[in-house]
Amino acid sequence: MTLQPIFNALYPENSKGGQCIVFAHKLLKFPPIGDTIQSKTANVYYHGITAKNLNGDFKIGDLVIMKAGKTGHGAIVNAIWGDDLQFTESNIFGDERIHHGRILNKFSSLIVGVIRGIYKFTMFLRRADGQISLLTPEGKRYVLSATAWQKLGSPYAMTVTDKDYNNYVQSGIIQDIIFG
């Protein structure tokens, strides 16, 4: 499962995204975080999960807070490849540009921890059996008929395993609604 195609469609590679946390707020709903490494770290302790307590159990969509530079950095996991995290992020090079491909080992000492938010965008998921769902930022999952999906123009639907189907940030607040 990867969110990279969705993130890239919403915010193309090298487009202007602003500061890292300001950009992350465009994709995820989470508590305000300041501009210093101290405020970013404190938010992990109060609203997130420290790297030590994660034990490598990252999820796609996690906002990863890192010790980088003078102010720290935040990036959203868009894919996980074994022990490597792939990020969607802005301002990693100090130029306020968006990038979707940087990779960091999930056991890196740079990682302070994660904050888990709720997606602020609509996306489509396709289960292995072909069922397609529309997931909204409000936490609703519309299970679409093939006709309904075609009426929407057959948009990109990320294919996920049954295990991953319910394993994303909004999973706790989903309400299934059949949409025909």
Per the CB < 8 A criterion, the answer to whether 137 and 118 are in contact is yes
Global confidence as pTM: 0.80
Domain end call among 102, 119, 136 = 119
Whether the pLDDT of residue 179 is over 50: the answer is: no
Domain end call among 70, 90, 119 = 119
Q: Over range 30-45, report the average pLDDT.
A: 93
The answer to whether residues 106 and 171 belong to one domain is: no
The answer to whether residues 97 and 159 belong to one domain is: no
Question: Residue 151: what are its φ and ψ, rounded to 5°?
Answer: -65, -30
**Of residues 60 and 179, which shows the higher confidence score?**
60
How many angstroms separate the CA atoms of 119 and 169, rounded? 7
Nearest Cα to Cα of residue 172 among 131, 116, 124: 116
79-83, 84-88, 106-110, 167-171: which has the minimum mean pLDDT? Answer: 167-171
How many angstroms separate the CA atoms of 40 and 31, rounded? 11
| CATH number for 35 | 3.90.1720.10
Return the amino acid letter for 58.
Answer: F
How many angstroms separate the CA atoms of 86 and 150, rounded? 31
What confidence category does residue 9 fall into, taking pLDDT thresholds of 50, 70 and 90? confident
Sign, Cα dihedral of 89, 91, 97, 101? negative
> What domain count does the chain have?
2
The answer to whether residues 84 and 33 belong to one domain is: yes
CA of 112: how far to CAs of 16, 25, 40, 50, 91, in Å?
26, 19, 9, 6, 18
The answer to whether residues 97 and 144 belong to one domain is: no
Per the CB < 8 A criterion, the answer to whether 75 and 84 are in contact is no
The answer to whether residues 109 and 145 belong to one domain is: no
The parent domain of residue 175 ranges over: 123-179
The answer to whether residues 66 and 31 belong to one domain is: yes
Query: How many other CB atoms sit within 10 Å of the CB of residue 156?
Result: 10
Whether the pLDDT of residue 180 is over 90: the answer is: no
pLDDT per residue over 140-167, tens digit each?
A: 777 887 787 788 788 777 777 666 665 5
The answer to whether residues 92 and 133 belong to one domain is: no
How many angstroms separate the CA atoms of 180 and 164, rounded? 24
Nearest Cα to Cα of residue 27 among 168, 121, 133: 121
Return the amino acid letter for 70.
Answer: K
Both structure tokens of 12:
């193309």
Domain end call among 119, 148, 169 = 119
What confidence category does residue 135 fall into, taking pLDDT thresholds of 50, 70 and 90? confident
The answer to whether residues 110 and 45 belong to one domain is: yes
State residue 174's pLDDT score: 45
